[in-house]
């Protein structure tokens, strides 16, 4: 089991140094810490602030939901930190974390949690309140809840996502800080929680900074807030599984490998694994790192694929800890210029998407626009992709909510999953690198069991430079070490030039190419460059021989705007552009997939054309109210073709 050996203990080996590095980098200016030691909290904060962990299958565990209305205070002047004149490194007990009620005869107090207005959690703040639409900065969230911790259990606060930095305080005690807007995290709040009434305060700050990932400029809305679900997950203090992963080995036969990491147990603790439908019932013991390794060959395994999205129930048990999930088994690999799913070539009929919730309309009254998070959002948007004839989606440009990956598993959609290394990151900043690595790590940990995920994408449209290539190369090394079962890609900028005869030519030779398994190339012929009608005459070459996905192409169109194919923003312009694009792509022998930009319109602060864009990127095939634009049918027709018809050059 070479794969298994390579796999073993990546979490422990990786997470220990990297998260310490990350913590040290982030907290270094704030705390004084000896190198290699966990940073010490300042005197004002009584408890050390832990870096959160990732409980891999947190959403599959019994949990107490903290979703619902939370009080909030927007705090652009950062009063709530409680520091004067300097902001302390973590919320001070003198600030808004104190759940004190205003008393007219008491000391001066200039906030009062019970009277503060409310926001729904999960949900970004921008789309819930008109006055917060453009707000970027610090917002304090607070709610009270009754909780009865069970004896012998540890209680983790699970956050689906908090954009961008979250400082979590329970009953006035700082319990964790997390950075990264999209990935899930879990904070051990056992020591801070009380039996009975509790108060939680979370400071969420989405200020854009040069050294953050993404950085200061994106073509999507910088939604802030507690954008994912919040809950309390209880696990046995005597030992619990914080990481479980199963995968089908590449190659002939149905060889399944797996591992579970158990926190807090002695070497040799037995871990029990069952897959009832496959009659698998096996045991393994934890090693010195707390990892139990598994390896078995189930009889009659049905492989997961877009045509047959077979998922199996998987049950883990260690002592009193039990964990169940549903997992599909399949292999993805590259052979020469082919992408293979379960050993057979596949053409990826895809579409790009954003994690944007549609606007409320008759078929989907419960929806509000903003950052998507729910199973219903996932079902609806991935349903559009299925209706288009897709077997693949590119979840641009950041890790998506767990609900989306689980729905992709059920719907039989292969997934390209990406981290927000987007456009011009600060390539020489250690903080940016630590953040990108941490987001990649958290994404691979949480989503490693999703059969749908075929590709990890390291970046989107990064201008080539030695620093850029070195930065992304480090991420690629990490992704391969943490997950050797998937393919590595990046969406790159297509370098067009004129050849000696004056023909528009693209040679796919970005310096990242040698490190990737599959090449993604974005191009906007007919929109940002050249004319749609000329696309079929463009000349393309792929000197690497690696499979290529045309990872972006498209045009803006406002639903209901009609005109000539030369009139921008009409449905006709957009439909015509896609016709010409597919005419070109069908002649490119190395293309193994396409993802038009983009499934649905989405909010973007850079799209200002009055009466047409009004703050939305209009390149969707579907409007935010669910209407299909004319181009939807063009893509659907293309995807109704057989792969042979698509590649009959």
Out of 205, 244, 461, 601, the only residue in the binding site for ligand GCB (CB under 6 A) is: 461
Nearest residue relative to ligand GCB (C-beta): 219
Alpha-carbon radius of gyration of the chain: 25
Classify 27 in phi/psi space as left (phi over 0), alpha (psi -120 to 50) or beta: alpha
Tell me the torsion sign for CA atoms 263, 268, 269, 273: positive
**Residue 213, helix vs strand vs coil:** coil
Distances (CA, A) of 36 to 114, 441, 586: 42, 20, 54
CA–CA gap between residue 310 and residue 333 (Å, rounded): 19
To which residue do tokens 């883990």 refer? 316
Least distance from C-beta 445 to ligand GCB, angstroms?
Answer: 26
Return the closest-CA partner of residue 439 out of 18, 16, 82.
Answer: 18
Least distance from C-beta 600 to ligand GCB, angstroms?
Answer: 12
The kind and range of the H/E element at 170 are strand 165-170
Least distance from C-beta 356 to ligand GCB, angstroms?
Answer: 12
- Closer Cβ to ligand GCB, 329 or 404, answer by number: 404
Distances (CA, A) of 164 to 141, 203, 357, 528: 14, 10, 19, 31
Least distance from C-beta 511 to ligand GCB, angstroms?
Answer: 19
Q: Which residues contact 232 (CB under 8 A, 6 or more apart)?
A: 63, 64, 66, 147, 155, 156, 157, 158, 189, 193
- Closer Cβ to ligand GCB, 446 or 619, answer by number: 619
Asked whether position 490 contacts ligand GCB by CB under 6 A, the answer is no
Classify 342 in phi/psi space as left (phi over 0), alpha (psi -120 to 50) or beta: left
Least distance from C-beta 528 to ligand GCB, angstroms?
Answer: 7
Asked whether position 127 contacts ligand GCB by CB under 6 A, the answer is no
To which residue do tokens 């982030």 refer? 26
Give me the phi and psi of 99, to 5 degrees please.
Answer: -85, 60
CA–CA gap between residue 597 and residue 586 (Å, rounded): 17
Asked whether position 579 contacts ligand GCB by CB under 6 A, the answer is no
- Closer Cβ to ligand GCB, 367 or 604, answer by number: 604
- Closer Cβ to ligand GCB, 184 or 352, answer by number: 352
Out of 15, 522, 574, 623, the only residue in the binding site for ligand GCB (CB under 6 A) is: 522
**Residue 83, helix vs strand vs coil:** coil
Least distance from C-beta 398 to ligand GCB, angstroms?
Answer: 11
Tell me, by CB under 6 A, how many residues bind ligand GCB: 9
Least distance from C-beta 462 to ligand GCB, angstroms?
Answer: 10
CA–CA gap between residue 365 and residue 125 (Å, rounded): 20
Cis amide leading into 447 (omega within 30)? no
Asked whether position 581 contacts ligand GCB by CB under 6 A, the answer is no
Asked whether position 574 contacts ligand GCB by CB under 6 A, the answer is no
CB 243 within 8 A of CB 56: yes
- Closer Cβ to ligand GCB, 255 or 397, answer by number: 397
- Closer Cβ to ligand GCB, 179 or 522, answer by number: 522
- Closer Cβ to ligand GCB, 178 or 619, answer by number: 619
- Closer Cβ to ligand GCB, 280 or 421, answer by number: 421
- Closer Cβ to ligand GCB, 329 or 423, answer by number: 423
- Closer Cβ to ligand GCB, 316 or 404, answer by number: 404
Asked whether position 418 contacts ligand GCB by CB under 6 A, the answer is no
Neighbours of 627 (CB within 10 A): 14
Classify 482 in phi/psi space as left (phi over 0), alpha (psi -120 to 50) or beta: alpha
Return the closest-CA partner of residue 627 out of 645, 601, 603, 606.
Answer: 601
Out of 552, 572, 579, 586, the only residue in the binding site for ligand GCB (CB under 6 A) is: 552
H helical segments located in 483-597: 571-585
Least distance from C-beta 432 to ligand GCB, angstroms?
Answer: 19
Neighbours of 108 (CB within 10 A): 5
Asked whether position 485 contacts ligand GCB by CB under 6 A, the answer is no
Least distance from C-beta 558 to ligand GCB, angstroms?
Answer: 14
- Closer Cβ to ligand GCB, 154 or 607, answer by number: 607
**Residue 377, helix vs strand vs coil:** helix
Least distance from C-beta 72 to ligand GCB, angstroms?
Answer: 29
Which residues share a beta bridge with 320? Answer: none
Out of 446, 603, 619, 629, the only residue in the binding site for ligand GCB (CB under 6 A) is: 619
Asked whether position 523 contacts ligand GCB by CB under 6 A, the answer is no
Out of 75, 186, 219, 229, the only residue in the binding site for ligand GCB (CB under 6 A) is: 219
- Closer Cβ to ligand GCB, 230 or 491, answer by number: 491
Which residues share a beta bridge with 282? Answer: 273
To which residue do tokens 């409007």 refer? 623
Least distance from C-beta 218 to ligand GCB, angstroms?
Answer: 7
Asked whether position 617 contacts ligand GCB by CB under 6 A, the answer is yes
H helical segments located in 9-138: 10-27
Out of 582, 597, 632, 639, the only residue in the binding site for ligand GCB (CB under 6 A) is: 597
CA–CA gap between residue 310 and residue 508 (Å, rounded): 36
What is the contact mask toward ligand GCB in residues 365 to 404, using x (rule: CB under 6 A)? --------------------------------x-------
Least distance from C-beta 548 to ligand GCB, angstroms?
Answer: 16
- Closer Cβ to ligand GCB, 77 or 528, answer by number: 528
Least distance from C-beta 584 to ligand GCB, angstroms?
Answer: 17
What is the contact mask toward ligand GCB in residues 441 to 460, using x (rule: CB under 6 A)? -------------------x
CA–CA gap between residue 298 and residue 475 (Å, rounded): 34
Query: Distance between the two ends of the chain, CA-based, in angstroms?
Result: 41
Biggest CA pair distance of the chain: 86
- Closer Cβ to ligand GCB, 138 or 561, answer by number: 561
- Closer Cβ to ligand GCB, 245 or 558, answer by number: 558
Asked whether position 356 contacts ligand GCB by CB under 6 A, the answer is no
Task: Give the binding site for ligand GCB (CB under 6 A).
Answer: 219, 397, 460-461, 522, 552, 597, 617, 619
């Amino acid at each position: 089991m070479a794969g298994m050996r390579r796999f073993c203990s990546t979490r422990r080996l990786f997470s220990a140094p990297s998260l310490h590095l990350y913590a040290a980098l982030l907290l270094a200016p704030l705390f004084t810490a000896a190198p290699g030691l966990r940073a010490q909290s300042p005197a004002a904060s009584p408890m050390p602030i832990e870096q959160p962990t990732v409980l891999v299958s947190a959403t599959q565990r019994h949990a107490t939901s903290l979703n619902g209305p939370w009080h909030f205070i927007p705090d652009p002047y950062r009063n709530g930190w409680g520091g004067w004149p300097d902001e302390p490194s973590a919320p001070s007990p003198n600030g808004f974390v104190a759940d004190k009620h205003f008393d007219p005869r008491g000391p001066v107090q200039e906030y009062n949690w019970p009277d503060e207005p409310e926001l729904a959690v999960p949900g970004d703040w921008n789309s819930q309140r008109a006055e917060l639409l453009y707000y970027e900065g610090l917002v304090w969230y607070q709610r009270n809840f009754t909780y009865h911790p069970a004896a012998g259990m540890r209680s983790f606060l699970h956050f689906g996502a908090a954009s961008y930095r979250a400082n979590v305080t329970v009953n006035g005690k700082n319990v964790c800080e997390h950075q990264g807007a999209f990935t899930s995290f879990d904070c051990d709040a056992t020591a801070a929680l009380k039996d009975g009434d509790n108060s939680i305060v979370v400071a969420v700050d989405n200020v854009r900074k040069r050294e953050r990932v993404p950085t200061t400029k994106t073509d999507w809305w910088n939604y802030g807030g507690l954008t994912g679900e919040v809950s309390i997950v209880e696990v046995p203090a005597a030992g619990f599984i914080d990481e479980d992963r199963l995968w089908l080995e590449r190659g002939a036969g149905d060889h399944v490998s797996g591992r579970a990491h158990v926190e807090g147990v002695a070497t040799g603790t037995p871990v029990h694994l069952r897959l009832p439908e496959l009659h698998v019932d096996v045991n393994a013991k934890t090693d010195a790192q707390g990892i139990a390794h598994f390896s078995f060959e189930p009889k009659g395994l049905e492989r997961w694929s877009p045509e047959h999205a077979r998922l199996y129930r998987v049950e883990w048990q260690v002592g009193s800890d039990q964990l169940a999930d549903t997992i599909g088994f399949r292999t993805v690999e590259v052979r020469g210029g082919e992408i293979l799913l379960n050993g057979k070539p596949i053409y990826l009929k895809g579409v790009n998407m954003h994690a944007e919730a549609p606007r409320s309309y008759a078929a989907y009254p419960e929806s509000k626009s903003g950052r998507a998070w729910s199973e219903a959002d996932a079902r609806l948007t991935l349903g559009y992709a299925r209706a288009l004839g897709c077997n693949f989606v590119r979840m641009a440009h950041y890790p998506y909510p767990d609900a989306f990956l689980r729905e992709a598993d059920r719907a039989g959609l292969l997934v390209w999953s990406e981290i927000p290394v987007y456009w011009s990151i600060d390539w020489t900043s250690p903080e940016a690198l630590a953040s990108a690595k941490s987001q990649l790590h958290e994404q691979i940990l949480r989503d490693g069991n999703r059969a749908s995920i075929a590709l990890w994408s390291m970046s989107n449209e990064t201008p080539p430079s030695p620093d850029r290539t070195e930065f992304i190369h480090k991420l690629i090394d990490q992704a391969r070490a943490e997950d050797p079962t998937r393919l590595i890609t990046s969406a790159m900028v297509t370098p067009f030039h004129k050849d000696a005869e004056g023909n528009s030519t693209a040679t796919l030779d970005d310096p990242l190419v040698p490190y990737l398994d599959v090449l993604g190339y974005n191009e906007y012929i007919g929109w940002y460059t050249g004319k749609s009608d000329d696309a079929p005459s463009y000349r393309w070459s792929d000197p690497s021989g690696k499979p290529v996905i045309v990872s972006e192409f498209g045009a803006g169109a406002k639903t209901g705007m009609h005109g000539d194919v030369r009139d921008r923003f009409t449905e006709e312009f957009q439909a015509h552009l896609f016709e010409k694009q597919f005419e070109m792509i069908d002649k490119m022998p190395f293309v193994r997939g396409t993802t038009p930009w983009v499934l649905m319109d989405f909010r973007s602060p850079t799209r200002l054309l009055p009466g047409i864009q009004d703050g939305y990127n209009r390149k969707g095939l579907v409007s935010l109210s669910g209407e299909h634009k004319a181009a939807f049918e063009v893509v659907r027709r293309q995807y109704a073709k057989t792969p042979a018809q698509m590649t009959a050059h």
